[in-house]
Amino acid sequence: MGKSWDTKKIHDFIETFENAAHNYMEGIGYLQSGYEKYQNNETFVGGGAEATKRFIGTKQSEFNRQQYELSKEMIKRYVDLDETFKAMVDPADDAKIDTDVVARTKTRFQRQLEEYESLAFAIQQKTMEDVDKFRKYCGDIEEVYVRDTLADYDEFCGTGGFLYDCIKKVEEFDDKACNRLFNSGIKDAIQGHIEEISGKAAGLDSIHSHAVDIDKHTLSLVALGTDATLNSINLAPRLMASNRISLVSPRYKTPRKWSLVKKKFSIDNIKSNAEINEVKYIESMEKLYGFSKEESKLFNDAYLKHCEHYKDAEKTGNREKADSFYTALACLFTQYSADSWQFKLMGNNKMSPSEAVAYFDAIGADGKALYDAVNNQHNTCKKNEKRDFAHECAIYSVMADDNIYKGAATLDDNVGELVGFKGDVYSGSMGGDDKMSDVSAYNIYYRMKKSEDGDIWNTMVEYNIDVCDGSINEATEFLQNMGYGNAKIGMTVLKTKLNYKTASALLITATSKTNLTKVKKTKEEFLDYIADESGIDWK
Residues 472-481 have a mean pLDDT of 94
Overall average pLDDT of the 212-217 stretch: 38
pLDDT of res. 1: 62
Task: Specify if 257 maps to a domain.
Answer: no
Establish if 262 belongs to a structural domain: no
Comparing CA positions, the residue from 243, 242, 237 lying closest to residue 207 is: 237
pLDDT at 482 over 90: no
Average pLDDT over residues 162-170: 90
Same domain flag for 87 and 110: no
Q: Looking at the structure, tell me whether residues 43 and 121 fall in a common domain.
A: no
Domain count, the chain: 3
The residue range of the domain holding 116 is 96-183
231 shares a domain with 357:
no
For residue 59, the model assigns a pLDDT of 64
Same domain, 147 and 222: no
Same domain as 472, residue 432 = yes
In tens, the pLDDT along 5-57 reads 898 888 888 888 777 776 766 666 656 666 666 666 666 666 666 776 676 66
Asked whether residue 335 carries a pLDDT value surpassing 90, the answer given is: no
As a whole number of angstroms, the distance between CA 97 and CA 89 comes to 10
Three-state DSSP state, 332: coil
pLDDT reported for residue 216: 36
Question: pLDDT per residue over 222-274, tens digit each?
Answer: 333 333 333 333 333 332 332 222 222 222 233 333 333 445 677 788 888 88
H runs (alpha helix) in 401-515: 404-410, 415-419, 421-426, 432-449, 456-469, 474-482, 487-499, 503-511
Residue 210 has pLDDT above 50, yes or no: no
- Give the pTM: 0.54
114/404: higher pLDDT: 114
How much of the chain, in percent, has pLDDT values that exceed 90?
29
pLDDT at 56: 65
The per-residue DSSP string of 88-129 comes to HT---TT-EEEHHHHHHHHHHHHHHHHHHHHHHHHHHHHHHH
> What integer pLDDT is reported at residue 152 of this predicted model?
86
Label residue 332 by pLDDT band (50, 70, 90): very high
So what's the pLDDT on residue 536?
94
Phi and psi of 454, rounded to 5°? 75, 10
pLDDT higher at 365 or 148: 365
In this structure, the answer to whether residues 451 and 485 fall within a common structural domain is yes
Judgement on whether residues 177 and 189 belong to the same structural domain of the protein:
no
CA 239 vs. chain centroid, Å, equals 28
Q: Distance (Å, rounded) from C-alpha 154 to C-alpha 463?
A: 62
pLDDT at 404: 42
With H, G, I as helix, E, B as strand and everything else as coil, classify residue 161. coil
Q: How many other C-beta atoms are found inside a 10 Å radius of the C-beta of residue 520?
A: 14
50 vs 487, higher pLDDT: 487
Once rounded to an integer, what is the mean pLDDT over residues 403-418? Answer: 59
In percent, how much of the chain has pLDDT > 70?
74
For the cut 90, the answer to whether the pLDDT of residue 63 exceeds it is no
Between CA 71 and CA 409 the distance in angstroms is 10
Same domain, 177 and 198: no
Of residues 112 and 315, more confidently modeled: 112
146 and 69 fall within a common domain: no
Whether residue 44 contacts residue 38, with contact meaning beta carbons closer than 8 Å, is answered with yes
Determine the Cα–Cα distance for residues 480 and 484; give it in Å rounded to an integer. Answer: 6
Please state the rounded mean pLDDT for residues 98-122: 85
CA distances from residue 168 to 106, 161, 164, 234, 464 in whole angstroms, order as listed: 13, 10, 6, 44, 50
The pLDDT of residue 43 is: 66
Which of 141, 157, 183 is the C-terminal boundary of a domain? 183
